[in-house]
């Protein structure tokens, strides 16, 4: 629906589709995403000029959306310590333990404008198939003696889009350095080890992401290199390879 409409509407008009239930959700590489009632499910259209900070670094969009989902919860007064985090490149996690959402970005370049379709879904009030944000809130209330209220999918979709707009504005003005401190605050990877090339490959330590959104790792004796996933495995941090 949005793919047909996005070229017909005036540039200044925003466009989003929101689903209560999704029966044919798609993930990376054609993977199926299960979407029971209780998920926040939407597809958002944005236009990004090619000759802009973000237009020159389009892979960053998935990172900005993942960060916006996390901040949609953790920027609410009282909810700052709910352990919702970002997993590179496009997942939302409970701590570093369990996935509860994801982002899928498709882009089309028309003349000098990127038309971006952002699909994002995250568990708000459904404990299956993994865990949900309201489960984390309940757990936090029990542990801390607080009385934080459950959140709704509608509220969090609205907050995510609002936060994303701000992050895009900051990125367009300041580039990656404008958003990376906030991204690193909420990601799960600082100082973690990965193996390069295959499961028996050399060990490297994650240090950050580069100006184009690729993961940066430090392999002993070789300095810092940028890497990306080799294929579309379920665990995107396995079998990382160094681009030639």
**Which pair of structure tokens corresponds to residue 94?**
């409970």
- 58's enclosing H/E stretch is none
SS3 for 189-236 is CCCCEEEECCCCCCEEEEEEECCCCCEEEEECCCEEEEEEECCCCCCC
What pLDDT score was predicted for residue 241? 58
- Please tell me the predicted confidence (pLDDT) of residue 142: 95
Average pLDDT over residues 140-152: 95
Q: Residue 44 contacts by C-beta under 8 Å, 6 or more apart in sequence?
A: 15, 16, 117, 118, 120, 161, 164
Rounded Cα distance, 189 and 93, in Å: 12
Instruction: Give the model confidence (pLDDT) of 58-102 as tens digits.
Output: 989 999 999 999 999 999 999 999 999 999 888 999 988 899 999
Average pLDDT, the chain: 87
For residues 132 and 85, give the distance between their C-alpha atoms in angstroms, rounded to a whole number.
13
170 contact partners, CB below 8 Å, separation of at least 6: 178, 179
The answer to whether the CB of 20 falls within 8 A of the CB of 37 is yes
Cα(107)–Cα(114) distance, rounded to whole angstroms?
A: 6
Average of per-residue pLDDT across 169-177: 95
104 within 8 A of 28, measured Cβ to Cβ = yes
235 has a pLDDT exceeding 80 = no
Cα distance between residue 148 and residue 78, in whole Å: 7
Helices 60-74 and 153-174, axial angle in degrees (round to 10):
130
pLDDT-based confidence at residue 242 (cuts at 50, 70, 90) = low
CATH-assigned architecture of domain 1-185: 2-Layer Sandwich (3.30)
Per residue in 32-60, pLDDT (tens digit) is: 666 778 889 999 999 999 999 999 999 89
Distance CA 165, CA 48 (A): 12
**Mean of the pLDDT values across residues 180-203?**
84
Name the pLDDT band for 156 (thresholds 50, 70, 90).
very high
Q: Which residue has the tokens 């973000």?
A: 54
């Amino acid at each position: 629906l949005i793919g047909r409409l996005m070229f017909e509407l005036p540039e200044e008009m925003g466009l989003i589709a929101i689903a209560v239930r999704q029966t044919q959700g798609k993930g990376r590489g054609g993977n199926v995403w299960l979407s029971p009632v209780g998920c926040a499910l939407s597809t958002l259209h944005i236009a990004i000029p090619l000759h802009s900070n973000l237009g020159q670094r389009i892979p960053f969009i998935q990172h900005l959306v993942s960060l916006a989902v996390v901040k949609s919860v953790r920027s609410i007064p009282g909810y700052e310590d709910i352990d919702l985090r970002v997993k590179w490149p496009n997942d939302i996690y409970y701590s570093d333990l369990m996935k509860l959402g994801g982002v899928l970005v498709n882009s089309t370049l028309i003349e000098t404008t990127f038309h971006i379709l952002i699909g994002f879904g995250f568990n708000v009030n459904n404990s299956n198939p993994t865990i949900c944000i309201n489960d984390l809130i309940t757990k936090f209330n029990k542990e801390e003696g607080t009385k934080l209220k459950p959140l709704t999918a509608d509220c969090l979709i609205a907050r995510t889009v609002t936060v994303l707009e701000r992050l895009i504005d900051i990125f367009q003005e300041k580039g990656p350095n404008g958003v990376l401190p906030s991204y690193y605050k909420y990601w799960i990877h600082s100082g973690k080890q990965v193996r390069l090339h295959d499961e028996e490959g050399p060990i490297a330590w994650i240090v950050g992401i580069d100006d184009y959104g690729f993961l940066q790792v430090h392999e002993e004796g070789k300095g810092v290199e940028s890497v990306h996933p080799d294929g579309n495995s379920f665990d995107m941090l396995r079998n990382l390879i160094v681009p030639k």
